[in-house]
Structure 1
Amino acid sequence: MNVIEAENLAKTFRVRQKEKGMKGSLQAILRPRIKEVQAVDGISFSVEAGEMLAFIGPNGAGKSTTIKMLTGILYPDGGRARVLDIDPAKQRRRLAYEIGTVFGQKEQLWTHLTPYDNFRFFGAIYDSPDRETESRIRELADTFELGSFLNTPVRNLSLGQRIRCEIVASLIHRPRVLFLDEPTIGLDPVVKENIRALIRQMNRELGTTIFLTSHDVGDIEKLCRRIIIVNSGRIVLDDSMEHLKNHYLDRKIVEAKLREEAPLPAAEGITLLKQKGGRVKFQVDTGKLRINDALHMIDAENLEDINISNVPLESIITEIYKAEGREDGIS
């Protein structure tokens, strides 16, 4: 069953264009030049119930605009969208009772209130009976381990604690779909892993469908089984994470430590990435040269240590971006 469906979804913005030498002039004020920007250009996709999807792309690719159309914040200029069989543009209030949103860079909690008071407030917004809200708070506070700071003002919480509370606030009304926009931004590695574990647990135990946007490759790789990459308002890739990796596994990264510095043998399929003293790093295209044959080119008696790994997912995604004429990478 599909819980999200987008069909030829499109959105164009009209923006004022600055002109050189026109700043502050009367003509620039009375007759500004208007430029049309196609933010989303006829994209189509669907998301199944319980799926965890990464929806990514460089800045300006159309990610946020798409999410805003799926949540009813923006109206599409063309095409159609359905979320839980609800038209977001026409039934935004009804949809709000079925979805949750977490924006890592935007707070929805009242910072002078405690998490507990915030959760009570959100329960009232969604017309949840007091008894049900209290039960839900206890359940989520236990799952997300909020007990030690449940009654501490939000302004006194760490960033990691606040993000956990932001997620809980979005789950008070038991949404069937959760939109996460950069949920781990600014967090240290340990807290990031904790947040990811909680998201996985929420998806596994509650069956919540996760629609994730993130510039953090760790979020994408560790949470999602499917990835959609958008660029210039269009979908350039819609594939499983496993297939995406396998497609690029014909390239291996070899890092070797030599007892004595030696030149890397020149051969088709070998690309030198870095060499300093006895340390050398190179890439092997196994479609042109078997990895065993590449390793045999290194003098075994001169070899002290070696490590072979796959091309990082970050490099794969950056390469896809560049193939679409953009230089943006994942940060």
Structure 2
Amino acid sequence: MVNALTPEAAERAAATPRSARPAVGARGRTRHRQAVVAYLFLAPALLFFAVFLILPLGFALVLSMSHWAGFRLGDIDPVGPDNFTGLFADGSTFLAPILTNTLLFALGTVALALAGSVIVATCIDRLRYQGLWRTLYFLPIVTTVVAVGNVWKYMYEPGGLVNGVLNAAGLGSVAFLQDPGTALPSVVVVQAWASAGSAILVLTAGLKSVPESYYEAAALDGAGPVTVFWRITLPLLRPSLLFVCVTQFLTGLQSFALIIVMTQGGPGDATNVAALEMYRQAFSYGDWGTASAAAFVLFVVVLLVTLVQLWIFRRKGEDA
């Protein structure tokens, strides 16, 4: 049912000049011009996104189903899914030990860095000159990976600092980087130490956001430090812990520079990981198809691990 205009409204509408009434076509043209201007401002970012992400991603997808030595584009030879099946065929080292090493490296890095950063951040939150302590722990982040790797490599040598401390304590020397059983854990320790600074910054900021009234109420109820930490601090740090967990895991899964500096994937394949294997396949063996297929497998692993982490933290949040 259409509402009829009152006589007063009809008179005002008739008295209004046609030129003063808003034109639907004019509004449409104005919105179109605004959209064009907006896209013109976005064009540089969209062009950068297309050139450096969309096109390489599409080219990598083509290479993952082809054989190519990395020289002329005309030499690309389509082979279908053979590169993917070859990664998981009998006798292939990609699934074990390479992909297994990648997951173990990421898990070890997350476990050590997260546990250490939570402890350090909690201690810093109780100290004076907190900015100084945060800066000191952040210094490894701004140090180049090559420098960090070489320093720790010399520290792990039989005559290095770490073995010197062990010998002074009456223990024997350990071939940290030469023994297949200790090489990967040794590099994990270095990666966790080097990446803990950013986690400490995030967690100290998270601790600052916890209302002080919660701690005062816990003190009035007679709760001890351990109970306060487990019942108040950790649950309220969940968003910060989720961010640290995801970023540390992504860094661990894509780690390359530290391993190539310290061990070059050895001894044998004890420290060989997916990113290093991709580099070897492409630049050492000239097999860009296998390298691209391995990159997509690693992408799927990273995506699945991230989704699982988000699901676990979300479920814990709902349970809480």
Larger proportion of strand? 1
Class of the TM-score when normalised by the shorter of the 2 chains: under 0.3
Higher relative contact order (CA 8 A, sep 6+): 2
TM-score by length of 2: 0.21
Whichever of the two has the greater Rg, that structure is 2
TM-score by length of 1: 0.20
